[in-house]
Amino acid sequence: MEEEKGAVAQSLIDVVTEIASVSDYRVTVKKLCSNLARRLKLLVPMFEEIRESKEPISEETLGTLVSLKEALSSAKDHLKFCSGGSKIYLVMEREQVTSKLLEVSVQLEQSLSKIPYEDLDISDEVKEQVELVLSQFRRAKGRVDASDDELYQDLHSLCIKSSDVDDHQPALQRVANKLQLMEIPDLAQESVFRYISRCNILTQLN
């Protein structure tokens, strides 16, 4: 059981290390993703103490750590998408993307809450840090940043209107600047090319 405990603890460290290596989140989800990644990195000291501890843990406690690993892996996948995914998609589908991130946060909070910390050989300082992370997750429930409303409205208006390009020049410039899509190659790399084609943005930004 001790070897299995060490292996699970190391796998938890590995997942968070991979999360920590993710950077350059898209501007539309940067704050939400950065906060999530920062909270998860605060859990590493607990995983390290569990790995180094010689005290045995129960099968039930080990199961809660495995469940936490699954939640962390889900968070990692979503954070990677928010770093390398389509900028336009993340704007147009912002409600779905935000909902997924909040759902992941809830799963993490629930997984952390189920761990019997009194059965773990970890320091009081680490316990306090984990409690801090839990409190941050609880406070963040349902909290959505609406700062991208203008960007969404600009992009949406470009998708549904087909009048003279000059009429939309201010909106085009704001979208291009905020999403850092200043050149045709930048737009061509977007994984949701259909949005660009439908809105005729390629022609308008050329």
CATH number, domain at 99?
1.20.1260
Same-domain check for residues 129 and 173: no
Predicted structure pTM score: 0.75
Contact predicate 168/186, CB 8 Å: no
Distance of CA 92 to the CA centre of its chain: 17
Same-domain check for residues 88 and 42: yes
Number of compact structural domains in the chain: 2
Distance of CA 193 to the CA centre of its chain: 23
Same-domain check for residues 51 and 124: yes
- Domain of 110, in residue numbers: 2-140
Same-domain check for residues 100 and 195: no
Taking the C-alpha atoms of residue 5 and residue 192, their distance in angstroms, rounded to an integer, is 42
Contact predicate 89/192, CB 8 Å: yes
Contact predicate 38/140, CB 8 Å: no
Give the tens place of pLDDT for each residue, 134-192.
Answer: 999 998 776 555 556 666 565 555 565 555 545 556 655 666 666 665 555 555 555 43
